[in-house]
Every structure is written in structure tokens, then in C-alpha cells.
Amino acid sequence: MEATTVQKVPRMKKSTVILRLLSYLWEHKIWLAVAALLTVAANVIALWGPDLAEDAIDAIKGPDDVDFGTVYQKGIAMLLCYAIFAALSFILSAVMIHLSKKVVYQMRKQVFEHLVDLPVGYFDRNQTGDLISRLTYDIDTINASLSNDLIQICAGVITVVGAAIQMARIKPILMLVFAGTVPCLIFFTVYRTKKVKPLFRRRSAKLGELNGYTEEMLSGQKTIRAYGKEEVMISRFDRHNDKAVQAHYDADYQGSVVGPSVNFINNVSLALISTFGALLCLSGKLSLGGLTAFNLYSRRFAGPINETANIISEIQSATSAAERVFRLLDEPAEEKVKSGDLPLPSPLGEVELEHVNFGYDEERQILHDVSLTVKKGETIAIVGPTGGGKTTLISLLMRFYDPNSGEIRIDGQNAYTTRMEDVRRAYAMVLQDTWLFEGTIAENLCYGNPSVTRREMEAAARAARIDDYIRSLPEGYETVLDENGVNVSKGQKQLLTIARAMLVDSPMLILDEATSNVDSRTEQKLQAAMDELTKNKTCFIVAHRLSTVQNASRIIVVRDGRIVEIGDHATLLAAGGFYATLYNSQFEGAEE
Amino acid sequence: MKKLLYYLSPHYPRMSVGLAIKTVGTVVELFIPWILGYIVDSVLPTKDRTAIYLWGGAMLLLAAVAVSFNIIANRMASAVAREATRKIRHDLFAKISYLDAADVDRLSVSSLESRLTGDTYNVNHMIGMMQRLGVRAPILLLGGITVTFLQDVRLTLVMVATLPFIALSVYIISKKGIPLFTEQQRAVDGITRVVRENASGVRIIKALGKSDYEKERFDRVNQDAIRREKKAGLTMSATNPLITFFLNAGLAAVIVVGAHLVNGGLSDVGKIMAFLSYFTMISNALLAVSRMFTMLSKGMAGMGRISEVLDMDPTLYVPETAGEETHPSPFRPDDRSTPVVEFRNVTFSFGERVVLKNISFALYEGQTLGMIGATGSGKSTVIALLLRIYAPDSGEILLSGTPIEKIPTPRLREKIGVVFQNDFLFADTIRENASFGRDVPADRLAVAYAHAQAEYVANYPEGDGHLLEIKGANLSGGQKQRLLIARALAGEPDLLILDDSSSALDYKTDARLRATLRKEYGATTTVLVAQRISSIAHADLILMLEGGEIIGRGDHDHLLRTCAPYKEIADTQMGGMTLAE
């Protein structure tokens, strides 16, 4: 049950990922400037606090020698100072949340919109669950990092610089210690980051795979239950789960070294400063007060470095998550790949296929040299054994895929150079695989053409023989179909999708096993409506019930990817070829 | 919370060791500044350089101990988080697998999916973080307070007086935070839903040119999620500034009170100075605590959503109890006069809508039941009830004379082969899709492919090792159906259920399939749902359903004579070529 989606793709460079992430922030540079300003203001004020405290303490000289005026004054000033600091930092957080949410919103939007524009085949190769994981967990991880870590790093930098200046003022020579430890810190961090990065990447990927499996299995639950294979599926879930938690642990295992190690380097510098400072004191080059103050500042120096060390792993998570998101965004979109720009404003509905060859992958060709000319208003029935290429042919017409060679023309215009949108709008389509979304029945019916009136919608539902059913529901047309459409049978769904197609105004119509789950009585009643629907339209009908195709203007028999017979019902039957065999076979079952 | 502790409890020993190590590592770190103080206060006056080197060395040593202990403890914490998460996810998935289908429908797959990964991820994060920061921060806090206590009790008390305020604000905020995070996660369910719908409907969406509409639809759930995330974020971000403010207000108070004490000769300035330095430690600790609370609220919200599912009980699933094997299979009655499947006055409804009304029939061993009827007449529901995916509102279902609710569910489903409409294929080999976790031997699979007319399997260079794309996207509709039928046949079922599962087959293949089924599975009790009369005409018992009621029953000939709607279908489908004539 390995995901088939794992492809070996070149890793993105970390700097590229970070630059790209920053470019999102850069779009909101005004907010970024506000945030920067607030960060500086808040931290400068925060640095002012200890000064006030020192001033107040300086006013306390000893018993009966306290300048209470100054003490109270400074005390109140401290309160004010921290009140302002608190207010500023709250506003800062609010700004950062606002900013990061803007980025997240935009990212999600971008990813989703890109997803919608990806070619159909992408969804056949990538687990929906993994895509969801990118849109939710990965972007969420980036968000957490943007809104928290950025402030912390900014604040940290300010504090560190401030403290460094103060220390340099006291005893520049002691700063030499940092000349040793800071490069150590940087080197260590860079080294760790390199080492840990693939682990974080793996962690994101495994969670995505787990979600992919989960999504797949939850979708197939009914079957799993019916076969009583819950145990097996659970144990397979466990395998994915094991990998996901282990990947999480592995990243943590290496990531957990960073915080304590940075602390260690800090502590070492503290130890060195203490020792050398003490020696300097002994030789009278440094006052005792100086040493204490220096240490105080070096602790303030260490604090933010520590904090930063703790969030390094979060930044790592964020960059690996970002990489997954960017990778999705870099998938070539359908439009870019193959949309032409010639408009096709009001197609008449003439279709030509010329020497079309196609295969989903290189090794296996599905369609061989298919040529066909369809005149406006013709009804073309496509029949033939399963796997012969009928649905593939339809997919090519809709440009879900493009032929490897050959040409498809609509009204004499090459579909390949025509705007994708216009090609698709030329067709209305009903597939065997019914699809409805969570929304009211009315919304679903009007999906293809939101401008239809209520009356038209109801007329279409009546024609599709589903009006009675809809009315029997407590909420009628306003009934919400839920995710799985559990309360609607497969056949009813097909009727709904037929009604939906009826409301689409297009010169061509594709019916791919549109009524396969509709019982024949209903189908018969539908016939009038279907006739109405197909009238004056160029139609392509894929069907197994040969009763549906008998009236087609032409029937093409597709077998092993080739058009083997073509003609109307009577001609083909008389010819006694494959179609005739197929046609006669439908009575065999009952003749025994 | 209780649920969380349940999952943590097996790891208490490991956690305790980890926490102990962490405590040592943290305390050791506290000694480092203390040594500095000692050098300044006691060593420097002696002017003993060796002692300075020694104490400096001690600091290095402690630093080394701290780093190694902290790393070990952090890793142990991660291991605990791993194990607990593993178990939580397993239990959650297992629970969902056995949950009543009605509950799964209600919760929705999208939400279950985001609980299984998103929420468990937050819980994983929380457990790890709580152990790492959860020890360090309080120790730094307590350590800081203890040291200040040793300096001056009264001044410390002044500072400690601010702690209740801090505790209260943290409490109130995280109390608010949990529901906000729950809401936030619910919004993620919405995102999941729209993406799922788009992935499954990609062809239609593109065909109808509705990409823009879908973008708009996603925009709505996205905005909703952003709104909730903002709200949760803003609420939580109040913690930090509040803590800083209260703490520093406490410090100001310490200075003022200190001034009075010094004035009265009860304390000295040095102590207030020392307070300043320990203060940094305390405030850093508290800030870490506040960060922890955000994670905690998020994790607890996730745990709440997980528990909601874990606390549900499957009512339909009957676990197997030892020593209750009355029949080798519930579909092989001891006595051939006992029906294998019997429905007695079964009524069922989805919500308020009655789907089946007073359904009664009996099917004997080796017989075939055919069901036909308009779309939405309840055919698939009969099958769902027979598989006990749903339970009837009233009436009885008996399998070989035993009420269905008395039969352990694993035994019930063990010898069933079923194909639903639009059944489920997954991204794996054809072999695995057919075997479906039953370890069916290769020769049996080969037979099943042959019987199911799935000869195309052999045309792949890797045979049934051929990999299917997601939902079997690289197979045609008919190939999918034949593979699904092979799956049903592979287990040599005692009860075979085919729900309109040959609709994508051409007549010829369908006819061959039917002939094979009759020949090879003649002794298998079979339930067929079909749209084509020819598919069920040979059945021993045919039920004609309409609006959830049986409007005709009997064999083909009988129905042709007695059931007008049936005859109508037969006439249209067979062009008058009926059996009776």
C-alpha cells in the first residue's frame, strides 16, 4: 500500500524557499514596516525599564537615607513603561497575526486556485489526502512560524544588539569571548540545520502520506466493513502511522539537540567570562561592579539566543512545509501547458478528429489513429468493449488530456490553440461517475448555469424525472446534499446530474453512461426529455444499453483503441460485424 | 483531559525518569550563575587564582552535564509523545472503522480525516512540548523564587503576590482558547471538504467551466478559517503582554517596598540588586509558560475532538465471543428448509424519510434473489441492512434462522462477497485490490479474474502486480467493475451480493459473466440488483421494488403475468422477446 505518488524530485534550495516565503511577507510591506516599528518601540521601551529600576535603586542609599520622591516617581514610571510595553506588544502580536493571516489566506487561496487549474491527471496520481495535508497542516506550520518566530527573532536581535553595546561599553576586551563563541553558535546552527532538514522534510511528507491513506480508506469504509476487513486496514493504517510518528520523532530527536547545545555554548561563554573577568579583577583591570554588570548583560544577551535556538526547529518545520507547498504551486498548470488563446465564442458544434493517437503513459497506447468528422446536430453513439477507449475518447474531446499526435478541431478550429475555457463550454456533460457537492439541490442543479430561473430549474427536474423525489424531501429544493450524498441513491444522483446538464446551454453534449444506474422504466420516461436535450445538439453518447444508441445518427464501434465500424444501427446490424454480435448478445441471457 | 492522561499513563515510568533527568539538567544550569556569584563574593577576596580556575572548570563541567541531560530528557519526551500519539491515532482509526455508518455519515469523512491527522498532530506536539518546557519553566520559576526567598522573604512575597493575577489571566485565556481552537479546527474540516469535493469532481468542474465558482466556494471556507484562526490567535496573544506587565509591576512594587525596608534598616540595597538579576530568570520562565499554554490549548482542543469520537460506541458491531460457533457460516443453515436470508416486516428510514416499508422475503441456500425497481426504490438499502451497515427501525432480519444482531459481525462478513455501485478501488496493485487484505492465494485470484471476465489483467506485463492509480483511475469503467467482481469472487463467498455491478459491461461480457456465475457459483446464495431484466431473469426469486415497498414478487414468469410494471420493463428491454413466449 505504498503511495505511488512519491516521485524523486530535486530538492529545493533552502535559501530559495526562505526567499520565496519572504516574498509573501514583502507584499504586505506596510504592515511589515508597522510591525518593525512596533518591535523597535516595544523593545526600546523594554530596555528603558531596567534603567528606571536602577535609578530607583540608586535613590536607596541605606537606612534613613532613601529618596522616596525619586523611588515612587521611578516606580510609577516603571509601571507606565511596562504598561506601554504590554500594550505595544499586544498590538504587535495583533499586527503580526493580521499579517500572517493575510499571508496564510493568500497561500491557501493560491494553492487551491492552482489545484483547480491542474490537469485532471494530477488528481489520479496524487492522493487527495496529501493535497489536503499541504493545504491545512503545511500552511498552518508556516503560519505558526511566521506569526511567532518572526517577532521573536526581531525582538531577539534588538535585545542582543542592545546588550552587546552595553557590554562593549563596560569592557571591550571581554567581548573577545563572544568572538569565540558566537561563530561557534553560528557554525553549529548552520551545521545542525543542514543535518536536520531532510528529517523535517520527511516528517511533512509522512504526515501527508498518512493523510492520503486515511482519506482513501475512509472513502472506502463501506466496502471494508462489508468484507469485515477492518483489522487488516487498521494494521495497514498502523504502518503508515508508525512511519509518521517515527518521522516526527526523528526530527525531534535531532532537533532537540539544538536548544540545549546553544545553551551550552552560552554557558561556556558565561564560564569563560567569569573566569577571565575574575582574573581581570584580580589584576585590577576591571571593577567588581563592572564584572557583575557585564554578567547581567551577558545573561540578557543569552536569553534571546536561547529563545531563537528553541524556535530553530519550528523554522525548519516551516521551511520543509513551505517546500511542499511550493512544489505543488510549481506543478505546471493546465492553462499554461496547453491552453491556446484563440477564442471560440459561439461554437456551432462541428467536431473533427484527425489521426489522433493517445496513451496515458508512453508504453501503453490507448487510441490508435482515430479519425472522425461529426457534423452539427449529429448524435454519435460510441460503443464497444470496456477498456476499448470510449471514455478516453471523451476525455480528449473535453481536453482533459491532449493527444500525443493528431488534431482535434471544433468548427474547423484547432482545439489545441483554442482557449481551454471555450472548448469546455462548448460541451455539457453527464458522466457515469456522478458528482454533487455539499449544497442545496437547487444550487447543484443550477451549478452549470447560475442564471437559470426557478421555473426553468424545476422544469428540468421534472423532465429528468427527479422533481417528485425532490418534492418528497422535507426541504424540497433547499435540501442540503451532504458530502457523500448518503441520502440520495446512485440513480437519483444520475437524474440530478442529467437535470444539471439540461440547464447548461451548450451546442454539444456528452453522455458517458449517463443513465447506467437509472432503471429502465425511468430511463424510458426520461427518453422524451433526453430527446429534447439532444435536439439540435451535437451529441456523443457512450452507452451499453444498445436501446439507447439505436437512434443515433451514427454509431462508432471502438475496439482496442481503433474505430472498427461506423454507420447507423441498421447498416451495422446488416453488416454482421462486431456491433451485430454485441447487439444480439443482449438477448442471449434471456434465451436460455 | 482524562483521555489524555489515559494515553500517558503507560508511559509514567519513562516520563518520570525523563522528568527527573530534565530536573537535574535544569537545576545544574541554575548553579552556573550561582557559582559566578560565589566567585565574586567569596573567591575574589582570597585572590586565589587556582580557585578561580577550579570554579571556572566547575562551571564548564556543569554546562556539559546540563547539555547532555537536557538532550537525553528531550529525546525521552519525544519518545513518549511518539508512543502516545501512535496509540491515540490507532485507537481513533480503529474506533472509526467499527463506528456505526450513521455516525460516520453524521461526523463526515472530512472531519474524521482532519481529526486523525491534524488534531493528533497537535496532540503529539503538545505532549512533547509539555514535557520539555513543562519542567524547565516551572523549575526556573521555582528556582528563581526560592533563591529570592533565601535573599529576602518579604520582598519575595511582594513579587509572589503578582502570581495569582498571572495565574488568573492565563487560566481565563486558555479557558477561552480551547473552544476557539476547536472552532478553528472545525473550519479546517470545511477546507478539507471543499478540497475533497474538488478532487473527486475535477472532471465535471472543468467540463462545466466552474473553476471560478469553486475558487469562490473555497474562498468562503478559507475566510471562515482565517477569521477563526485570527480570533484564537488574538486571544492567546494577550497572555504574553499581561504576564510581562504583572511581573514588572511586581518588580516596581519590590523596589518601592524595598526602599521602605532599607529605610527602616530591615534590608539592604544589595538584595534589591540581586532581585533584579533573578527577575530576568523568572520572567523568562513565565514567558515560556505562556507559550506552553498556547500549545496546550491547541492540543487540548484537538484532544477534545478526538475524544468525541473515541467516546462513541458502535451499536451495530457485534464482536466475536469465544465458543459461540453454532454454524460454520451464517449463510449455511443446518437445515435446508431454513432460509439463509429472511426479512420479516423490515422498515427503515434515513432521518424522517422512510426508505423501506414492511419488506419481507425469504431466500434459501443456493438460491438467487433478484431485485429490480426504479432508482431510489430502496434496493441498495436492502443490501445495506443485510450487511448490517445500518439497522432496521423495526422488523427482523434472520440469517439461517439467527437474528442478525446476534451474529458476531466478523462472522457475518467473513463469507460475503459484495460489489456496491461505484465501489472502491485504491492506489495499490490489482492483486491487493482483489485480495483486499484476505491473503487470497495466487491461484484462487487467477480463477477469480477468469470468472469475473477480467482477462485484461493478464495483459499487463506485471500481471496483477500492475499498480492502480488513485480510485483505479487508470482502468476503464468496465475494467473496474470486473476487478470488483473478482474481489467478490476471490473469497469463495457463501453469499454473493452484486449491486448493479455490471452496468458498465457490454452485453456480451455481461452475458458471459452471468453464464460463468451460474455455472461456477450455482450453489452460492446470491443477491443481484440490476437494471436489466436479462441480468436477473433467471433468479429464483425476483422482488420488484417501488417507493420502498415490494410491488411484485416471484420468478420471472410469474412476474410477467402478475406485475404490470415488471412486464413493461421486460417488454421495453427485450423488445418483446420474453421467456414466457
Greatest pairwise CA separation for chain B in angstroms: 124
Whether residues A442 and A481 share a domain: the answer is yes
Within 8 A of B40 by CB-CB distance, chain A residues are 278, 288, 291-292
How many beta-carbon pairs below 8 A join chains A and B?
Answer: 580
Within 8 A of B200 by CB-CB distance, chain A residues are 128, 435
Whether residues A219 and A308 share a domain: the answer is yes
| Record: contact A127-B427, CB cut-off 8 A | yes
Whether residues A329 and A366 share a domain: the answer is no
Q: How far is B366 from chain A (nearest CA, A)?
A: 19
Whether residues A154 and A175 share a domain: the answer is yes
Q: B397 and B346 in contact (C-beta within 8 Å)?
A: yes
> What pLDDT is recorded for position A22?
85
| Record: contact A66-B579, CB cut-off 8 A | no
pLDDT tens per residue across span B363-387: 999 899 999 988 778 888 999 999 8
Return the H-helix or E-strand segment holding B342.
strand B341-350
Of B214, B373, B416, the CB nearest to A226: B416
> What pLDDT is recorded for position B227?
94
Within 8 A of B59 by CB-CB distance, chain A residues are 267, 270-271, 274-275
| Record: contact B476-A387, CB cut-off 8 A | yes
In a domain, A108, yes or no: no
Q: How far is A145 from chain B (nearest CA, A)?
A: 13
Q: How far is A209 from chain B (nearest CA, A)?
A: 10
The boundaries of the domain holding residue A319 are 118-338
Q: How far is A354 from chain B (nearest CA, A)?
A: 22
In a domain, A12, yes or no: no
In a domain, A455, yes or no: yes
Q: Which of B49, B71, B117 to mutate to test the interface with A (most CBs of A within 10 A)?
A: B117
Q: Is A491 exposed, middle or buried (0-12, 13-18, 19+ CB in 10 A)?
A: buried
Whether residues A189 and A164 share a domain: the answer is yes
Q: A374 and A351 in contact (C-beta within 8 Å)?
A: yes
In a domain, A110, yes or no: no
Inform me whether the C-beta atom of residue A329 falls under 8 Å from chain B C-beta atoms.
Answer: no
In chain B, residues 481-520 whose CB comes closer than 8 Å to chain A: 481-482, 491, 497, 500, 503-511, 514
Closest by CA to A327, choosing from A590, A80, A138, is: A138
| Record: contact B534-A215, CB cut-off 8 A | no
Whether residues A174 and A309 share a domain: the answer is yes
| Record: contact A486-B105, CB cut-off 8 A | yes
Whether residues A254 and A397 share a domain: the answer is no
Whether residues A321 and A198 share a domain: the answer is yes
Cell numbers at B483, concatenated: 476487478
Which amino acid belongs to residue B460?
Y
Within 8 A of B75 by CB-CB distance, chain A residues are 252-253, 256
Q: How far is B330 from chain A (nearest CA, A)?
A: 14
Of A263, A421, A488, the CB nearest to B66: A263
Q: How far is B52 from chain A (nearest CA, A)?
A: 6
Cell numbers at A581, concatenated: 454480435
B2-310 fold: ABC transporter transmembrane region fold (1.20.1560)
Three-state DSSP state, A567: strand
| Record: contact A278-B537, CB cut-off 8 A | no
| Record: contact B89-A241, CB cut-off 8 A | yes
pLDDT tens per residue across span B294-309: 888 889 999 999 999 9
Those residues with Cβ within 8 angstroms of residue A80's Cβ, 6 or more apart along the chain or in another chain: none
| Record: contact A223-B269, CB cut-off 8 A | no
Which pairs count as long-range contacts for B284-288, CB under 8 Å and 24+ apart, including other chains? B284/A303, B284/B140, B285/B136, B285/B137, B285/B138, B285/B140, B285/B141, B285/B144, B286/B137, B286/B141, B286/B166, B286/B243, B286/B247, B287/B240, B287/B243, B287/B244, B288/B133, B288/B136, B288/B137, B288/B140
| Record: contact B428-A1, CB cut-off 8 A | yes
| Domain boundary, last residue among A41, A68, A103 | A103
In a domain, A139, yes or no: yes
Of B117, B291, B476, the CB nearest to A137: B117
Inform me whether the C-beta atom of residue B42 falls under 8 Å from chain A C-beta atoms.
Answer: no
Domain B341-574 of CATH type 3.40.50.300: yes
In chain B, residues 184-203 whose CB comes closer than 8 Å to chain A: 188, 191-203
Whether residues A521 and A500 share a domain: the answer is no
Three-state DSSP state, A504: coil
Cell numbers at A62, concatenated: 541605606
Within 8 A of A237 by CB-CB distance, chain B residues are 89-90, 93
Whether residues A456 and A314 share a domain: the answer is no
Strand B525-529 relative to strand B495-499: parallel, antiparallel, unpaired?
Answer: parallel
In chain A, residues 114-153 whose CB comes closer than 8 Å to chain B: 115-117, 120, 123-129, 131-133, 135-137, 140, 143, 147-148
| Record: contact A215-B114, CB cut-off 8 A | no
Within 8 A of B29 by CB-CB distance, chain A residues are 263, 267
Inform me whether the C-beta atom of residue A479 falls under 8 Å from chain B C-beta atoms.
Answer: no
Checking ipTM against 0.90, whether it exceeds it is no
The CA–CA distances, whole Å, from A194 to A11, A312, A325 equal: 13, 12, 20
In a domain, A185, yes or no: yes
The alpha carbons of chain B give a radius of gyration, in whole angstroms, of 35
| Record: contact B104-A221, CB cut-off 8 A | yes
Return the H-helix or E-strand segment holding A166.
helix A150-170
Of B113, B132, B476, the CB nearest to A391: B476
Nearest CA in chain B to A443: B213
Predicted TM-score (pTM) of the model is 0.85
Orientation of helix B239-263 relative to helix B153-160, angle to 10°? 150
Inform me whether the C-beta atom of residue A505 falls under 8 Å from chain B C-beta atoms.
Answer: no
Inform me whether the C-beta atom of residue A180 falls under 8 Å from chain B C-beta atoms.
Answer: no
Domains held by chain A: number: 4
**For residue A391, what is the domain's CATH number?**
3.40.50.300
Within 8 A of A558 by CB-CB distance, chain B residues are none
**For residue A194, what is the domain's CATH number?**
1.20.1560.10
Within 8 A of A318 by CB-CB distance, chain B residues are none
Whether residues A468 and A539 share a domain: the answer is no
Within 8 A of A79 by CB-CB distance, chain B residues are 248-249, 252
**Which regions in chain B score pLDDT beneath 70?**
277, 322-328, 574-581
| Record: contact B201-A437, CB cut-off 8 A | yes
Whether residues A330 and A392 share a domain: the answer is no
Within 8 A of A516 by CB-CB distance, chain B residues are 503-504, 531
pLDDT tens per residue across span B245-290: 888 888 888 888 888 888 888 877 777 777 776 777 777 777 777 7
Strand B402-403 relative to strand B394-399: parallel, antiparallel, unpaired?
Answer: antiparallel
In a domain, A9, yes or no: no
Length of chain B: 581
Inform me whether the C-beta atom of residue A261 falls under 8 Å from chain B C-beta atoms.
Answer: yes
Start-to-end CA span in chain B (Å)? 73
Q: How far is B190 from chain A (nearest CA, A)?
A: 10
Those residues with Cβ within 8 angstroms of residue B181's Cβ, 6 or more apart along the chain or in another chain: B232, B297, B298, B300, B301, B302
Of B217, B351, B574, the CB nearest to A590: B574
Alpha-carbon torsion B19, B21, B24, B27, what sign? negative
Alpha helices in B44-162 (DSSP H): 49-98, 101-107, 109-114, 120-151, 153-160
**Which regions in chain A score pLDDT beneath 70?**
1-11, 335-339, 483-487, 545-547, 586-592
| Domain boundary, last residue among A103, A134, A164 | A103
In chain A, residues 286-305 whose CB comes closer than 8 Å to chain B: 288, 291-292, 295-296, 299-300, 303
Per-domain residue ranges of chain B:
2-310, 341-574
In a domain, A345, yes or no: no
